[in-house]
Amino acid sequence: MAEEMIEQKQYTKMAMFKQGVITGIPITLGYIPVAITFGVLSFQSGLSLLELTLMSALVFAGASQFMGVNMIVANASMIEIVIATFVLNFRHFIMSLSFMNSIRDHVSLKGRLGVSLGLTDEAFAVASMNQEKANNNQAVYFYIGIFLSGYLAWVLGSLVGGVLGEVIPEQLSQSMGIALYALFISLLVPAVKKEVRYGLVALIAMLINAIAVQFMSSGWAIVVGTLLGGLSGVVLLKEKYG
């Protein structure tokens, strides 16, 4: 009886993990071309295979990695690069706070810590929009499935780009720049179909971001847009949240 229960539990873990990997396929698909581009570009910029793969494995934040390589090439100081990275990636603090708060009842501190390290824009967006698939006590395996597949695609893609050079024709890799935006849009649209006010929150965040970016770096502008856009949700969605 006990064994059966353990087996049942194992199965659920595996099933949740698989479900996570499947849910994360769009991220994996979107990451591979961008990661390959990163590998190509940073190898051409003079980073070794070890360095560029290590950067993807340890930093795991696309935009800041491209920026970092640019700054390394431009002979920027370490302090400058690290501060610029912090500014650009600070948005993940806001996203992580939102995500951790929403999974606190289902995922232990240990699980949350593990998952937090893989939190990118895309992983956050996909995980947040699919929470109904994971409201049980094995939820962490669902999120590990999403985050880990994205992580592996990113790290291995970077290595492949560095080793093989331009395996993807330039025109195609440029066209793939739309991929992650299409991912964000296809997460947002179904949510707006269900509740149009979510679209209003997104629209307000867009406008504030567009205005803010005139006055500050794009990293801070996204933070400001996200915070103020989210704040508009407090008012707009008051009765919905109850």
Nearer to other proteins, 16 or 127 (CB): 127
Work out how close the CB of 11 gets to other proteins at its nearest, in angstroms, rounded to a whole number: 26
The residue written with tokens 């947002």 in the block is: 188
Work out how close the CB of 9 gets to other proteins at its nearest, in angstroms, rounded to a whole number: 24
Nearer to other proteins, 3 or 169 (CB): 169
Residue 91 has a CB neighbour count (10 Å cut-off) of: 22
Rounded to 5, what percent of the chain is helix, strand, coil?
85, 0, 15
Residue 14: helix, strand or coil by DSSP?
helix
Nearest in space to 66 (alpha carbons), one of 112, 35, 23: 35
Nearer to other proteins, 7 or 195 (CB): 195
Work out how close the CB of 3 gets to other proteins at its nearest, in angstroms, rounded to a whole number: 33
Nearer to other proteins, 175 or 217 (CB): 175
Nearest in space to 82 (alpha carbons), one of 117, 109, 58: 58
Work out how close the CB of 39 gets to other proteins at its nearest, in angstroms, rounded to a whole number: 15
How distant is the alpha carbon of residue 15 from its chain centre?
Answer: 23
